[in-house]
Amino acid sequence: DGIVKNRYVGRTFIQPTQAMRQLGIRLKLNPLPSVIRGKRLVVIDDSIVRGNTSKKLIEMLRAAGATEVHLRIVSPEVLWPCFYGIDTDTRDQLIAANMTNAEMCEWMGADSLAFISLQGLRDSLPDVRTPGYCEACFSGDYPVEIPSYTARNSFMTKADFAEQYAREAAEVEKTQISV
């Protein structure tokens, strides 16, 4: 093993502030330079939500002497907020909703990044259409209707807001010109 994981630190992405998430990451993962130095690594993780843990882990692995770090994620990209138990209340917080795979890879400092596809995830499960199965954070297909206020405030990224603002401004300008 090249990383010692502190089992007493929980999921860092659910911490309420960025500072608390960063501290939690530092306390949770401890790379072993004697094992890592000079190695090309493939790191397998369950998901990337905000990207903070992956970015910090890659930095720590490189500081411990890794020559390459390739990241493989065993879930599809988390693109949509979860209202069913995971604390991601807006798309703006989700790295995959705001960056391409290449942009995420570069931002985190990895040599490569790959996710399992949504179909690959479905194919790996015995029966994904059983009651209680939800893939909304990957597909945006929620099992219940999302209220419009929640949708407007949670499902739009900064780019979506900018695009909507530009459309609304153009409409106002068009209305003013024709009046």
Report domain extents, the chain: 3-142, 145-179
CA of 51: how far to CAs of 6, 80, 104, 169, 176, in Å? 19, 14, 8, 33, 44
Is the pLDDT at 148 greater than 80? The verdict is: no
CA of 171: how far to CAs of 14, 153, 168, 179, in Å? 39, 22, 5, 12
CATH number, span 3-142: 3.40.50.2020
Kindly report the pTM of this predicted structure. Answer: 0.74
Is the pLDDT at 10 greater than 60? The verdict is: no
Torsion angles phi and psi, residue 82, rounded to 5: -110, 130
User: Residue 67: what pLDDT?
Assistant: 97
Average pLDDT over residues 26-47: 89
User: Residue 128: what pLDDT?
Assistant: 66
Average pLDDT over residues 61-77: 96
**Sign of the torsion angle spanned by Cα atoms 99, 56, 20, 114:** positive
Is the pLDDT at 154 greater than 60? The verdict is: yes
User: Residue 179: what pLDDT?
Assistant: 55
User: Residue 81: what pLDDT?
Assistant: 87
